């Protein structure tokens, strides 16, 4: 076992990402448990409107946000179709922070982006859970207390045994050959921008600012221009942009690129430089 000291959560921030929506009491019950367990901690919402059971979208939102929080922040994420079944509750210790949630791949991209995974622990210690854990709401009964105890200084290794065979998500990596890329839509944001899984660092192989790139979605062909920002496009024009989340984005000025291209999360996209 490593002799590294665990990240000390001095900033005392706990973030929340779920697919619970904002109508119900689920999120507030989790906050109530956190504030009861670690009074004075600052709770910050990342999002509660991830589509139900959509681990891919949740993992993207989490990974996009986590690197901007202070080191030592504790992140709780609950998109958990397997609640109450055999999937493990886990804590992932990354280089900069701690992530708490189900072992279904949700936490892994964020931990990788937040400096890399140091340890993964299964949560098994009942003295660090709520008494009478329900079969359907581990967010309140296991994950929220774990996050609060971590924020108040408990070490991740107090919660249960370290393990190695955690679930790795299977979101496709882009296929890249010379000036050709086969990637996919990782996420469609609220503006209708399509965020791909192609890292910004690979954009230069497609072309330079101002050039038109070949884009195929199924059998339909488009010719978006590589631009710096939305306002470099005229109304309705489709463009490719170095995205603020670290990945190539397809955008359409003041319109939804996803609607224009008929693309949704997971759609396959082929790109080719001019």
Binding site for a copy of itself (CB under 8 A): 11, 13, 15, 20-26, 28-29, 31-33, 35-36, 39, 42-50, 52-53, 61-62, 64-65, 68-70, 81-85, 134-137, 140-141, 189-191, 228-232, 241-245, 249, 251, 254
CB of 99 to a copy of itself, least distance (A): 14
Nearer to a copy of itself, 222 or 230 (CB): 230
CB of 262 to a copy of itself, least distance (A): 20
CB of 236 to a copy of itself, least distance (A): 14
Structure tokens that stand for 98 in this block: 């701690």
CB of 102 to a copy of itself, least distance (A): 11
Which contiguous run of DSSP H or E holds residue 226? strand 225-227
Q: In which residue are the tokens 């050959």 written?
A: 177
Nearer to a copy of itself, 39 or 170 (CB): 39
Contact 62, 75 (CB under 8 A): yes
Nearer to a copy of itself, 71 or 117 (CB): 71
Nearer to a copy of itself, 119 or 194 (CB): 194
Q: In which residue are the tokens 């359907």 written?
A: 136
Longest distance between any two alpha carbons in the chain, whole Å: 62
Helices (H) and strands (E) in the chain, counts: 6, 15
Which letter does DSSP use for residue 156 in this model? Answer: G
Nearer to a copy of itself, 119 or 247 (CB): 247
Contact 161, 121 (CB under 8 A): yes
CB of 130 to a copy of itself, least distance (A): 9
Strand order in the sheet with 42-47: 42-47, 13-18, 74-78, 98-102, 89-94, 117-122
């Amino acid at each position: 076992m490593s002799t590294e000291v665990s990240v000390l959560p001095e900033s005392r921030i706990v973030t929340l990402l779920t697919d619970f929506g904002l109508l119900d009491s689920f999120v507030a019950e989790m906050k109530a448990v956190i504030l009861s367990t670690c009074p004075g901690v600052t709770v910050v919402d990342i999002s509660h409107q991830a589509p139900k059971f959509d681990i891919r979208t949740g993992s993207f939102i989490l990974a996009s946000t986590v690197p901007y929080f202070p080191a030592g922040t504790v992140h709780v994420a609950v998109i958990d179709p397997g609640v109450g079944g055999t999937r493990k509750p886990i804590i992932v210790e990354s280089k900069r922070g701690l992530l708490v949630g189900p072992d279904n791949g949700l936490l892994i991209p964020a931990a990788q982006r937040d400096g890399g995974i140091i340890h993964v622990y299964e949560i098994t210690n009942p003295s660090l859970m709520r008494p009478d854990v329900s079969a359907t709401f581990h967010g309140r009964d296991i994950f929220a207390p774990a996050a609060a105890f971590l924020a108040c200084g408990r070490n991740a290794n107090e919660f249960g045994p370290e393990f190695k065979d955690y679930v790795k998500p299977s979101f496709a990596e882009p296929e890249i050959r010379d000036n050709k890329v086969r990637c996919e839509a990782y996420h469609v944001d609220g503006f209708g921008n399509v965020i791909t899984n192609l890292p910004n660092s690979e954009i230069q192989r497609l072309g330079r600012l101002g050039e038109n790139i070949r884009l195929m979605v199924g059998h339909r062909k488009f010719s978006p221009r590589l631009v710096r920002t939305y306002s470099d496009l005229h109304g309705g024009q489709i463009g490719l942009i170095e995205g603020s989340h670290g990945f190539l984005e397809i955008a359409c000025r003041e319109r939804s690129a996803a609607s224009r291209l008929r693309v949704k999360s997971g759609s396959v996209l082929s790109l080719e430089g001019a």
